Amino acid sequence: MRQALVHMGKKTTSLLFFLVFVPLLIPAQQNRYADSLIGLLKTKQADTVRAKLLNDLVWEVVYNNPSQAEGYGMEELSLSQKAHWEKGIFDSYTALGSISYLKSNLGAALDYHKKALEVSQRSHYLKGLMIANSNIGVVYKDLGNHLLETQYCLASLKTAETLRDSARMSAIYSNLGLAYQAQKSYEEAITYNRKALSIREKRHDTRGIAACYINIASALTDQTKFNEALDFQLKALALAAPLKDNYLLAKCYSNLGLTYKDLNKYEEALNSLKAGLMINEALGSKASQAALEINIGELYQKMGKNPEALSHFEKALKVAKEIGHKKWQMEAYAGLSNVYEKLNDPAKAHASYYQFAELRDSMANESYNKDIANMRVLYDTEKKESEITSLKQGEEIKSLQLLEQQTVLQERKFLLAASAVVIIALILAGYFYFSRQKINALQKQQEAVRQAEESERVRMAKDIHDDLGSGLSKIKFMTELVSSKSDNSPEIKTGIQSISETSTFLVENMRDLIWALNPENTKLENMIARIREYSTDYLGDFPIQLTINISESIPDMELSKEAHRNIFFIVKEVLQNIVKHALATQVNLSISLRDNQLKLMLTDNGKGYSTDLISPGEGLNNIRQRAGAIKGTVEMTSVKTGGTCVCLLVTFKAIEKA
């Protein structure tokens, strides 16, 4: 009997550990206050806005008052349905599912999360797909169905990777860690938790980090590495304390207490467990309360304080009966039986043991039925005919079990397991095939939308340009008209001139804009031709002589749009500076293409403008920025003759189209 008790004590421990992941479902807006939300709700708002507020409110109160949260969730759902707002409906189902999960109502949680999954599938809401799959996985974990858990987990991971959602990826890593723990692969469990941890540390997700610590501690406890586990429990508590999350805090204290108990530090264990108990009482988490009472009872028993132990076991029994929790009732009876034995009350000890045994047998039956029920859920979900056969086989085998010898029984069990594995593998393969196809189709659709958007953007830019362009030309022509009338004063003429210049400048800028939006590709050779042409035309208006040296052979290379734009901009800017500030009579443009590098030099024979005339805030800075954008460098040096040389150096690799 004592053996049984120790064994069950351990089970208590692991069950307490499990409830940690749900906090990860919390949306980002945690620091809003429930009261201000309620205040906002009282004002007149559209249904969708009210639904959104209610959702925020759910997550604000869920850990401290799940029942109130449920009320908000229901209201949110009906508002969203009324408004035919899919996103709202999804959020409501997810909220309700999470609340049910927190209230240990796993059946309802599964229903809600599956409804959420349906909504996200029919509205092609990728993020929702990811969230719902992950949540269903969590519920299946608690239902003890690790295969379905893995299936949904991996489906969610796929979407999370598509969306590059690091928060969700960390949650799934964490879940996979627990799945491995359940399979007693502790090293892997810890590895996955550490993966989750590193993502959360980058995101400064304190709650998530605490959850990782708790899970790592749990894996360590299962390996009986209690001292290392204790370190993590203490770290988790330190993080949880300032968060005002009673749910998490209760978990931390309870776990810490259990670890102290494992280390036989009775006083510390008692303090922590009682702290956990107090918070759970305030939260109304009856199941946790019962579990803690049992653990406290066991502690007192170990300390030889049997009367105290008795009262805690009795309390545990009372609470467990209130909520109909058979397992805790059974454990409480086991504890009571032990204590009565110590207190020399064999009649009561026997009566308690009898109750314990009854519950144990009925639970064993239930557990079998639950397995059957879980398989039926599998059948319902996946609509696979073959599952029925496997169920029937299971029943057949059960009746045979009574007749057959032990060895035959083992063989059959093996066969059942093998066929179940094959069937489930088939279902998994089917599921992944279809979900991948669905995701592929979604991606294609998104790509088409993106392309349509791009061409629409180009079209709009062109339209705007045409309209504005002709308007600006009009301004320009009209100013020409006014200035040609000779009766204007010089000031007016200057003013008109600057209007004309500004409109020209604006049209130039718009040309750059169109260029940036134009998806057409440019070859290196074409860009060089354009630079040459532009320099000749631009300097042709001024008394400046241009000489040109350009490499004879130009590599056949496509340029990235950015490179084309930035290099051309630099040439324009430098030429403008020469004309405005240098007072030059000669300019040399030289482009050399050697050693996989483009070297563009503009040299003038002017009076030098690099240091005196251009403040860093002006053109020079712009030139540097543009060069930096294509990983190039710009050098500006004074030439002996007094002029300036601007030299741009950039590697082919940096400008070639990827």
| Interface contacts to other proteins, rule CB under 8 A | 465-466, 469-470, 472-474, 476-478, 480-481, 484, 503-504, 507-508, 510-511, 514, 525-526, 528-533, 536-537, 540
Residue 454 Cβ vs other proteins, minimum distance, rounded to whole Å: 18
Looking up tokens 């999960």 gives 101
Residue 383 Cβ vs other proteins, minimum distance, rounded to whole Å: 56
Nearest CB to other proteins, comparing residues 406 and 509: 509
Q: What are the beta bridge partners of residue 644?
A: 638
Cα 597 from chain centroid (whole Å): 41
Nearest CB to other proteins, comparing residues 527 and 623: 527
Nearest CB to other proteins, comparing residues 154 and 510: 510
**CB under 8 Å to 284, separation ≥6 — which residues?**
66, 67
What number of CA atoms fall less than 13 Å from residue 205's CA on the CB side? 24
Residue 549 Cβ vs other proteins, minimum distance, rounded to whole Å: 13
Residue 486 Cβ vs other proteins, minimum distance, rounded to whole Å: 11
Nearest CB to other proteins, comparing residues 71 and 469: 469
**Measuring CA to CA, how many Å separate 116 from each of 19, 78, 110, 213, 392?**
21, 14, 10, 30, 32
Q: 360-367: which pairs have CB atoms within 8 A and are 24 or more residues apart?
A: 360/330, 362/326, 363/326, 363/327, 363/330, 366/326
Give the C-alpha separation, 397 to 496, whole Å.
Answer: 100
Residue 470 Cβ vs other proteins, minimum distance, rounded to whole Å: 5
Nearest CB to other proteins, comparing residues 263 and 468: 468
Residue 627 Cβ vs other proteins, minimum distance, rounded to whole Å: 22
Q: Is residue 14 helix, strand or coil? A: helix
Q: What are the beta bridge partners of residue 163?
A: none
Residue 559 Cβ vs other proteins, minimum distance, rounded to whole Å: 14
Structure tokens at 84: 């035919």
Nearest CB to other proteins, comparing residues 536 and 622: 536
Of all helices (H) and strands (E), which one includes residue 409?
helix 406-484
Nearest CB to other proteins, comparing residues 448 and 548: 548
Torsion of the alpha carbons at 99, 58, 25 and 101, rounded to the nearest 10: 0
Residue 462 Cβ vs other proteins, minimum distance, rounded to whole Å: 8
Residue 62 Cβ vs other proteins, minimum distance, rounded to whole Å: 58
Nearest CB to other proteins, comparing residues 420 and 461: 461
Q: Where are the alpha helices (DSSP H) in 143-225?
A: 146-163, 166-182, 186-202, 206-222
- From 432, 418, 427, 414, select the one nearest 387 (Cα to Cα): 427
Give the C-alpha separation, 489 to 270, whole Å.
Answer: 97
- From 429, 451, 446, select the one nearest 162 (Cα to Cα): 446
Give the C-alpha separation, 512 to 504, whole Å.
Answer: 13
Give the C-alpha separation, 290 to 281, whole Å.
Answer: 10
What number of CA atoms fall less than 13 Å from residue 278's CA on the CB side? 8
Give 265's DSSP letter: -
Residue 546 Cβ vs other proteins, minimum distance, rounded to whole Å: 10
Cα 51 from chain centroid (whole Å): 23
Nearest CB to other proteins, comparing residues 45 and 483: 483
Nearest CB to other proteins, comparing residues 337 and 479: 479
Cα 190 from chain centroid (whole Å): 21
> Contact 218/181 with Cβ under 8 angstroms?
yes
Question: 590: burial class by Cβ within 10 Å (0-12, 13-18, 19+)?
Answer: middle
Residue 509 Cβ vs other proteins, minimum distance, rounded to whole Å: 11
Residue 535 Cβ vs other proteins, minimum distance, rounded to whole Å: 9
Nearest CB to other proteins, comparing residues 146 and 599: 599
**Measuring CA to CA, how many Å separate 402 from each of 367, 371, 409?**
18, 19, 9
What number of CA atoms fall less than 13 Å from residue 321's CA on the CB side? 9
What number of CA atoms fall less than 13 Å from residue 454's CA on the CB side? 11
Sign of the Cα torsion 228, 234, 240, 245 reads positive
Residue 644 Cβ vs other proteins, minimum distance, rounded to whole Å: 24
Residue 531 Cβ vs other proteins, minimum distance, rounded to whole Å: 7
Give the C-alpha separation, 619 to 604, whole Å.
Answer: 17
Residue 451 Cβ vs other proteins, minimum distance, rounded to whole Å: 20
**Measuring CA to CA, how many Å separate 290 from each of 46, 137, 179, 618?**
44, 26, 26, 73
Nearest CB to other proteins, comparing residues 390 and 503: 503
Nearest CB to other proteins, comparing residues 202 and 511: 511
Nearest CB to other proteins, comparing residues 470 and 622: 470
Nearest CB to other proteins, comparing residues 365 and 497: 497
